[in-house]
Amino acid sequence: MENENSIVIIGGGFAGIEIAKRLLKSDYKAKITLVDKNNYNFFPPLLYQVATGFLDVSNISYPFRKFFRKYSGFSFRMGELQEIIPGENKIILDNGELRYSKLIIATGTVSNYFGNENVRKNALPMKTISDAINLRNTILERLERASQISDLNEKKKLTTFVVAGGGPTGVEIAGMLSELRKNILFKDYPELKDIHLDIYLIDGLNTVLAPMSKSSQEYAGKSLKEMGVIIRLGQIVKDYTNNTVYLADGTTIATENLIWTAGVTAQVFKGIPEEYYGRGKRLIVDAYNKIIGTENIYAIGDTCIMITDPAFPEGHPQLAQVAIQQAENLSKNLMAAEKGNKLRPFIYNDKGSMAIISRNRAVADLNGPVKHFNGFIAWLIWIFIHLMSLINLRNKVTTFLNWLYSYTTKDQPLRMIVRPGKNT
């Protein structure tokens, strides 16, 4: 029999972990059940470093059960949400069902291919740990193949990388590929010394890092060009088939490597009416993160859209800080409601944004006395913020040591091709 006050949280990302942690540490009386299709939390901002062999998976991930093991009111259920039945306070998972008194949806986003099936089938996404491992394996396998063949056209396709999406993830992975090309590639693959390894960054807007300041955009664009990244702005990928990227202006790029960071979308769940979803399939919530039209179902983080915050009438940006702050506010409101106190509407405190470009190069837009940093200072800020944001001390230490090794040696010994199910 389920606890009378049973809170079920769907999704163990920034928002889900934050609200579970806050409720469990408080005197709030409820059973907390976290549901996720994986048995671990991971840190999405560093996925690209796993994909390029500069960090190990264990540096940015941690098991839920170990993280919450000291809390007696916590339980974990590995499963995937299939349906919500609000009238029965019940959810259907792919491996059973759960009842709840309050349901919190914190499922984040998935890659958005904008209806292009060829891109969906053939491109390399960058949203999950599995995506990052697959991308790392694919890059290394194609470099191995390129080192063995003599056909220059085929070799060129294998060593040309097209990154679709000029946001932080696209900029960061283009920069990391450039670092790989500059410091590692020809040492490990002398057979490719006559191949340039072209890196393209494609975006439909007229600038990279569109949500950031003009100073950040200009510095990032200039830095990438200096590093040899070929930037194509005002272009969208129309199709990707037969190892050819087709751009909107009719030009093509022959490549076996299209890395997709061009957009995200929230998920739609059976049982939630269509009219409850807004732009980007995000669940429409009120000022307290309750889904409109429901009594006890909430959504936080990237999966929701809130238009009641005066500074963000079109909804908040899909950033980690929004997710964390919404989780904090909702946890306080749940505790306030239990005590009969007044609820506090969510107001986002925008602390700024940042992106790393390469070694010693980053940009940071902050809401302090100094609004913008770039170069080495911004790079140090980025390093510090991302280290402190990792989930536990072990991850912080191992990631720092990996970064220190990479910085001093300009190398990283994590370039192994490991595919489960294959003979090794």
Q: Burial letters for 393-421: b for 16+ Cβ neighbours within 10 Å, e otherwise? A: eebbebbeebbeebeeeeebebbeeeeee
172 included as an active-site residue: yes
Asked if 156 and 254 count as a contact pair (C-beta separation under 8 A), the reply is yes
How far apart are the C-alpha atoms of 60 and 45, rounded to whole Å? 9
Contact 273, 116 (CB under 8 A): no
Catalytic residue among 18, 172, 179, 256: 172
What are the structure tokens assigned to 230, written together? 């070929």
Write out the E strands in 126-176: 161-164
Residue 359 CA to residue 390 CA, distance in Å, equals: 20
Q: Is the CA virtual torsion 170, 114, 269, 82 positive or negative?
A: negative
Q: Compute, in degrees rounded to 10, the torsion defined by CA atoms 280, 282, 286, 292.
A: 110
Residues annotated catalytic, as ranges: 172
